[in-house]
Structure 1
């Protein structure tokens, strides 16, 4: 597999990956298919336990190397996730909340979309987004917990390093802690490779997302109203780090 070095020096990285980004070679937003955007198409993925598009993979490897030199071991928790994997996550949560916890269907949906996407709308479908932690500190319980990235948490050091360096490799925090931001809750572990994810989001926004979702059938989708889907698109898909729009 051919590797490409994205970052030679801090200055070069800042220059080459400064915002706004150029589209990948021979690629523009109109070339992404609906099935590709919704995670229903097999796409080439690169790297053992990395599973990203080639350019995103190469940039991630460079970022991981740089972090390692500074004492952090970036560990991939999640990257590419297809439609059907997202569907299973959604349905498992919906059943648990409604049957085990006794929630109404609408309350269950509101609970799910605090952190999980409707199948077909996940950024993880694109092969550009990653959930990462520091593999060095020992910790108990779930790792994708905001408090573990805050002061005193096991991943505090990595989060500070990412705040300073991730954008020079093209990776931007998606769901920030901006107080006025709506939609998904703060996810200090979720980063997106902007040079590819920006044109993919542009392509997705040009589709009739409401109609696409109305055509899908999975457990709980019968409770989606037109108003809910419109607010979900506005708040959960589009109310993100403005640098990724």
Structure 2
């Protein structure tokens, strides 16, 4: 039995994995879903990584990071031994650049997302449901969109403005899953950065930015196939 540590991205929480967990369970594996301190205006990505590392309780672990959680994968692998790491429609840190600087340079995220946010206590929260449907949940049905949108929470700005560590990622077997119809994170950027920064060819997964909701069975099959 392998443990999948599933790490949520910005504005999300462990709830977003609720459809994937039963699929992994049916395959004989277990899932752990840490809650990141995303809304804490003082927390850094190193603090986020400490939370995730504390959830890694054995060496037979596959670490899965969605979206912004891609920034955490090398930090966690420096703290704990993992069997495999998976970037799921995820950002890949550029050493020496903050997320904000990388976004200005590369434009990897659809700039329309900024119009969906409002400032709150040192961060942002998502307030535009139509843009959430368009960018985050484009291939999900309306009840799923409504339920997910109602649970989105704040994301602090502090870690997004801190330079990424100027160090090579640990030598951990790595897979990048690019969602081919992703409207939030540019799939062509994902393919390029997977080769340039991670040294791997991206694995293609049909659908939008949130496959854990729109196609959990297919996502589970890919993840289990890695082991």
TM-score range normalised by the length of the shorter chain: under 0.3
Larger Rg: 1 or 2? 1
